């Protein structure tokens, strides 16, 4: 009875401590909300306060522009320059008052002026930079206020619309100088600042979050982790839906230009013709065949080498007939060479139930949610059952970069059919690993092994190169089945069969699928791809390895001083052949400093081996690192250097880094100076890594929201460059 009383007393003590931690969190969040509010009001609205005393001067009547019947001024294709002479006044800002109801567009203006330091307009020279071109959105009032920095009074002022692609006429209600700027409360900016400050406060060196053990407070830590995961899913889903031009779902208030005016929501094709391959495959499967219904042009069928892109392009121009890019072309038919599992998982059931094409972006979002859940579950399993000293703070310091830096965010930025198989491969991988690890500690592991191996085998039907993650089975199961000879027992043989059977079943299905299409069990169709290079003749070349390793791992980020700061990384090679490359933004070891712990892997692994009789975790880390290198080389040799390919191997290095950090944390003396320094360094490196990935997702790229709706994206720039 006394033992029960002692246990009850300890439980009440833990509950009171958790309640106290919750109240502490709520009080801290309230204080941070107040700070974020003060920053929004006084710092981010600095232009409101500094322009309060301005006396606005209307220059509209001095513009030599044509007026329409409504009294609006018109910038036209032949008259889009404005010049004011002999102003002789201090000019602090310009205010364009664009007519609201005209088509929204982003306009580039070149502004020049003379002042007390320049009697003529000054331009960029070898040693100086002149007034830069400024972007103004007709749909963003913040961008209509342009702050100038002349030296003394302005004499002449010139404004020239220099955009190449403009929908004329551009209607202007008026133009003035020294205009007071209105106050504006930006909810998105307030939320971002609140979130950043909350994270800084939660992960500060003396935070209570580092004193809450995962093992010692299982209920509280599980609730906290669930809350974090919900926040991550919400943020990432919102970002995916933000890129509305790629989503393919329309409602009355979302993508309303594609809304059918009847349904609550309807789907439509987004991303171009060749982006509908999975939907076309689903329709073909429903009809009982595996080739696409699209008929290849006659000129493609008559080509000696249809995989020569240069020759294809010439014939396409000559005939005026297009072809389906990035499809597998074989024996006069189009096929889909991307993994078939996403088509079976999403597109075929959706088509059979609704008769409509499944929106690819929703598949990416569902796979993304599955990845975040599986990733967190796997990490939680290691933290609670393989390490005893992981605190909630350390867990979250590692979970957030693991999720955010895996390449998943970039796939969500472009939720197309290119991203879907990669995202599905990541989701199946983390769940497969979790189910395996869970099965290792189960009394009846057969079901766990079956489900885990099924997930890992389905990876091949999504993204074949990710099959390297299946090699983790060797360190996970070698000791039990081989060293301890459990395989020779009846139960061991049954469990081992459960590990292998799903691979055999999935392999048989994929081999049958390949044979039905190409007459070969092992041919997935990559060699028949109508892509930017001739796949059958590409071959392997050592000369492509060094540039790829540098780009994927060591390339430093390229930056400038304007939001979102990141620029495409330069690329140079001495390889005297064709290199397939798209825009990339730096290597993972240079841009994700949370991975730098990998450089100390050898001494850290010695700590683990010395402390434990088993070498499972050490083996997993080695397999992850070796597999990551092999996958990167595989991608470079067979496909090229592309930003989305980073997701094929980034998780492997991040997972290894997380396990190495767990080992270091396990071997540091509690409450020691070394432990505090370790947490601070970990927090800093993780913050820089996540910040890099967030900025990468906001970089304007062709096909993304920023290029399709550049006039709307300008509002985001104005929110973060609030001082301009």
In order, the DSSP letters of 337-404 are -S-SHHIIIIIHHHHHHHSSPPPHHHHHHHHHHHHHHHHHHHHHHHHHHT-S--BHHHHHHHHHHHHH
Tell me the pLDDT tens digit for each residue of 582-614.
Answer: 999 999 999 999 999 999 999 999 988 888 777
Token couple for 720: 């973060």
The pTM assigned to this predicted structure is 0.93
Mean pLDDT of 418-428: 97
Strand partners, 75: 170
pLDDT at 6: 47
Confidence of residue 9 (pLDDT cuts 50, 70, 90): low
Binning pLDDT at 50, 70 and 90, where does residue 678 land? Answer: very high
The span from the CA of 517 to the CA of 330, in Å, is 8
Find the Cα–Cα–Cα–Cα dihedral 500, 505, 510, 516, rounded to 10°: 150
Burial 366-398 (b: 16+ CB within 10 A, else e): bbbbbbbbbbbbbbbbbbbebbebbbbbbbbbb
- Examine the pLDDT at 297 and tell me if it is beyond 90: yes
CA atoms within 13 A on the CB side of 262: 2
Q: In what order do the strands lie in the sheet with 106-113?
A: 81-84, 157-161, 106-113, 134-137
DSSP secondary structure letter of residue 92: -
> How many Å apart are CA 408 and CA 646, to the nearest integer?
9
pLDDT surpassing 60 at residue 18? no
HSE at residue 127, side-chain half, CA atoms within 13 A, is 0
pLDDT for position 388: 86
Cα 372 from Cα 395, distance rounded (Å): 14
Mean pLDDT of the chain: 92
Average pLDDT over residues 41-47: 96
Residue 578 in this model has a pLDDT that exceeds 50: yes
- Judged against a pLDDT cut of 70, whether residue 514 lies above it is answered with yes
Contact at 8 Å (CB) between 293 and 304? Answer: no
Question: Does the pLDDT at position 3 exceed 70?
Answer: no
The two tokens of residue 701 are 């790229």
Average pLDDT over residues 712-718: 94
Extract the tokens encoding 287. Answer: 């009809």
Q: Are the C-beta atoms of 158 and 82 separated by less than 8 Å?
A: yes
Query: What is the rounded CA–CA span in Å between residue 325 and residue 532?
Result: 9
Q: What is the mean pLDDT of residues 565-587?
A: 90
Q: What are phi and psi of 94, to 5 degrees?
A: -115, 150
Q: How many CB atoms lie within 10 A of CB 235?
A: 15
- What the block records as the tokens of 201 is 């406060």
Which CATH code fits 57-177?
Answer: 2.60.120
């Amino acid at each position: 009875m006394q033992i029960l009383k002692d246990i009850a007393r300890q439980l009440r003590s833990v509950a009171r401590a958790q309640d106290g931690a919750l109240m502490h969190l709520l009080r801290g969040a309230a204080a941070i909300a107040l700070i974020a509010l003060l920053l929004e009001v006084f710092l981010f609205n600095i232009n409101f306060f500094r322009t309060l005393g301005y006396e606005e001067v209307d220059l509209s009547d001095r513009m030599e522009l044509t007026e329409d019947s409504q009294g609006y001024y018109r910038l036209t294709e032949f008259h889009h320059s404005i010049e004011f002479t002999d102003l002789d006044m201090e000019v602090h800002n310009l205010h364009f008052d664009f007519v609201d109801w005209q088509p929204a567009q982003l306009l580039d203006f070149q502004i020049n002026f003379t002042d007390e330091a320049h009697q003529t307009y000054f331009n960029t020279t070898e040693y100086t930079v002149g007034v830069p071109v400024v972007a103004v959105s007709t749909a963003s009032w913040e961008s209509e206020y342009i702050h100038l920095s002349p030296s003394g009074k302005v004499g002449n002022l010139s404004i020239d619309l220099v955009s190449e692609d403009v929908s004329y006429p551009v209607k202007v209600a008026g133009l003035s100088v020294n205009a007071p700027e209105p106050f504006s409360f930006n909810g998105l900016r307030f939320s971002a600042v609140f979130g950043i400050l909350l994270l800084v406060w939660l992960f500060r060196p003396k935070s209570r979050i580092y004193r809450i053990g995962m093992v010692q407070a299982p209920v509280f830590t599980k609730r906290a982790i669930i809350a974090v995961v919900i926040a991550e899913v919400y943020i990432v889903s919102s970002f995916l839906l933000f890129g509305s031009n790629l989503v393919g779902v329309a409602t009355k208030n979302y993508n309303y230009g594609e809304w059918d005016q009847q349904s609550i929501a309807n789907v439509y094709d987004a991303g171009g013709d060749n982006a509908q391959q999975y939907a076309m495959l689903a329709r073909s499967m429903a009809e009982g065949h595996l080739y696409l219904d699209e008929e290849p042009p006659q000129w493609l069928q008559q080509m000696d080498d249809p995989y020569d892109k240069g020759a294809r392009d010439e014939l396409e121009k000559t005939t005026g007939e297009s072809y389906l890019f990035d499809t597998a072309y074989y024996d006069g038919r189009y096929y889909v060479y991307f993994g078939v599992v996403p088509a079976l998982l999403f597109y075929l059931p959706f088509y059979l139930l609704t008769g409509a094409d499944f929106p690819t972006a929703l598949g990416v979002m569902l796979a993304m949610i599955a990845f975040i859940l599986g990733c967190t579950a796997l990490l939680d399993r290691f933290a609670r059952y393989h390490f005893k000293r992981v605190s909630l703070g350390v867990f979250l310091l590692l979970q957030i970069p693991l999720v955010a830096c895996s390449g998943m965010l970039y796939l969500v930025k472009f939720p197309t059919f290119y991203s879907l198989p990669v995202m599905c491969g990541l989701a199946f991988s983390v769940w497969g690993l979790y189910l395996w690890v869970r099965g290792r500690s189960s009394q009846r592991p057969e079901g766990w092994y079956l489900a885990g191996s099924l997930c890992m085998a389905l990876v091949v039907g999504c993204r074949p190169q990710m099959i390297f993650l299946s090699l983790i089975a060797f360190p996970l199961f070698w000791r039990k089945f081989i060293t301890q000879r459990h395989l020779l027992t009846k139960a061991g043989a049954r469990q081992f069969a459960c590990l292998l059977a799903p691979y055999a079943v999935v392999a048989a299905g994929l081999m049958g699928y390949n044979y039905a299409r190409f007459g070969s069990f092992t041919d997935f169709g990559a060699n028949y791809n109508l892509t930017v290079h001739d796949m059958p003749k590409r071959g392997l070349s050592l000369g492509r390895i060094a540039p790829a390793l540098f780009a994927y791992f060591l390339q430093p980020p390229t930056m400038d001083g304007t939001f979102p700061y990141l620029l495409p990384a330069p690329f140079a090679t001495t390889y005297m052949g064709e290199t397939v490359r798209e825009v990339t933004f730096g290597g993972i070891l240079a841009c994700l400093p949370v991975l730098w712990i990998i450089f100390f892997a050898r001494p850290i692994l010695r700590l683990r081996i010395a402390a434990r009789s088993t070498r499972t975790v050490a083996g997993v880390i080695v397999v992850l690192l070796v597999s990551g290198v092999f996958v990167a080389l595989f991608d470079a040799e067979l496909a090229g250097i592309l930003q989305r390919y980073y997701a094929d191997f980034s998780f492997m290095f991040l997972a290894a880094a997380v396990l190495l950090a767990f080992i270091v944390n396990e071997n540091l003396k509690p409450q020691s100076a070394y432990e505090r320094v370790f947490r601070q360094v970990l927090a800093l490196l993780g913050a820089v890594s996540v910040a890099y990935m967030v900025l990468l997702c906001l970089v304007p790229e062709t096909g993304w929201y920023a290029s399709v709706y550049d006039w709307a994206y300008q509002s985001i720039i104005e929110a973060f460059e609030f001082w301009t």
